[in-house]
């Protein structure tokens, strides 16, 4: 039960990060670190140490890929760190399903935001204002989708 509580805490922190990103378009390290700690706690309390190696590898791969995407200016550094912190609770064999949920949620978010922002104001130079995507929302959705089977015990 302790593992499920730690995972529920990680999910709550993840939700906070998603809301924070929607409101400010930033994900503070003060949320990423507790998410990582809660995710590691959920892993350590809920499985043997070999699973921790699998989740750590998932997080390391996610962080490297995320930093490459950040270097290409495709995502923010906070998004990369947020995904890596959440990955500490998801074993490597569940990485592709999590990424699939993130991508699907991201596509839905892009569609919604495109509809929402289609009426953006025209700036002085005749261009439309730009908008950014709060990618912590789809990351949270992917994390929740992969965590949910283990959370059913709590709820």
> Long-range contacts made by residues 143-146, C-beta under 8 angstroms, separation at least 24?
143/10, 143/11, 143/14, 143/86, 143/89, 143/90, 143/98, 144/11, 144/14, 145/97, 145/98, 145/101, 146/90, 146/94, 146/97, 146/98, 146/101
pLDDT of 126 reads 63
pLDDT of 127 reads 66
99 pLDDT more than 90: yes
pLDDT of 116 reads 79
Mean of the per-residue pLDDT values of the chain = 92
Q: How confident is the model at residue 47 (pLDDT cuts 50, 70, 90)?
A: confident
**What's the rounded mean pLDDT across residues 123-149?**
86
11 pLDDT more than 90: yes
pLDDT of 129 reads 63
Task: Please tell me the pTM assigned to this model.
Answer: 0.90
What is the per-residue pLDDT across 20-43, written as a single tens digit (0 to 9) for each? 999 999 999 999 999 999 999 999
């Amino acid at each position: 039960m302790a593992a499920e509580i730690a995972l529920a805490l990680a999910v709550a922190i993840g939700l906070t990060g998603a809301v924070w990103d929607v409101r400010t378009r930033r994900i503070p390290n003060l949320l990423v670190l507790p998410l990582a700690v809660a995710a590691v706690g959920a892993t350590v309390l809920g499985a043997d140490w070999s699973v921790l190696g699998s989740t750590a590898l998932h997080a390391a791969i996610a962080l490297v890929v995320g930093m490459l995407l950040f270097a290409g200016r495709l995502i923010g550094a906070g998004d990369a760190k947020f995904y890596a912190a959440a990955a500490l609770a998801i074993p490597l064999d569940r990485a592709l399903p999590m990424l699939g949920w993130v991508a699907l949620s991201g596509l839905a978010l892009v569609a919604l935001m495109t509809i929402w922002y289609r009426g953006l104001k025209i700036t002085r130079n005749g261009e439309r204002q730009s908008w950014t995507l709060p990618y912590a929302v789809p990351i949270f959705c992917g994390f929740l989708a992969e965590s949910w089977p283990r959370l059913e015990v709590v709820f």
